[in-house]
């Protein structure tokens, strides 16, 4: 996979009669202490979101209903990840450009984040991202 990304397989406690439950625990299935949780929904299927990177932030994205495609990229590499199961998480670490696209009408994208919201951690310009990311991945 793209550097600083990986799939996290989450375990569901499933019951034929009562359905399923997935528990998310910081520093366990989620590989950092969770400081923030948010969710994205109601995105029209022809709209995209994201188009940015983060300097430090780590996040895990889980599509708990419906489906969405996440395009993750670093300088010279790109991959599309289909999130279509509440038991599939996508870890995205620092310095990865991400775009979310192809939201299904019922998509709810849950995101667990390692830090509180901080606009200063965002890199929103792709040209400046490429410059910074090339240095970062050369380390």
Of residues 75 and 92, the one with the C-beta less far from ligand T46? 92
Query: Taking the complex as a whole, how short is the minimal distance between the CB of residue 12 and ligand T46, in angstroms?
Result: 23
Query: Taking the complex as a whole, how short is the minimal distance between the CB of residue 55 and ligand T46, in angstroms?
Result: 11
Query: Taking the complex as a whole, how short is the minimal distance between the CB of residue 118 and ligand T46, in angstroms?
Result: 9
Strands (DSSP E) contained in 1-94 are 5-9, 12-15, 19-22, 36-41, 49-54, 59-65, 68-74, 77-83, 88-92
| Whole-number Å distance between alpha carbons of 104 and 125 | 27
* 52 annotated active-site: yes
Of residues 19 and 117, the one with the C-beta less far from ligand T46? 117
Pairing relationship of beta strands 88-92 and 122-123 according to DSSP bridges: unpaired
Sequence-distant (6+) residues with CB within 8 A of 137 are 3, 74, 75, 95
* Interface residues toward ligand T46, by CB under 6 A: 36, 38, 40, 49-50, 59, 61, 98, 111, 117
Of residues 4 and 59, the one with the C-beta less far from ligand T46? 59
**Residues known to be catalytic:** 52
């Amino acid at each position: 996979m793209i550097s600083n990304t990986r799939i996290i397989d989450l375990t569901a406690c499933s019951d034929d009669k009562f359905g399923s439950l997935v528990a998310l625990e910081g520093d366990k299935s989620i590989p950092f202490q969770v400081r923030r949780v948010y969710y994205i929904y109601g995105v029209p299927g022809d709209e995209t979101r994201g188009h940015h990177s983060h300097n430090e932030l780590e996040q895990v994205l889980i599509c708990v209903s419906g489906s969405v495609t996440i395009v993750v990229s670093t300088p010279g590499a790109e991959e599309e990840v289909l999130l279509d199961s509440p038991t599939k998480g996508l870890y995205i670490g620092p310095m990865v450009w991400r775009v979310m696209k192809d939201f299904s009408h019922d998509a709810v994208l849950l995101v667990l984040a390692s830090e509180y919201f901080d606009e200063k951690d965002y890199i929103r310009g792709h040209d400046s991202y490429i410059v910074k990311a090339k240095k970062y991945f050369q380390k």
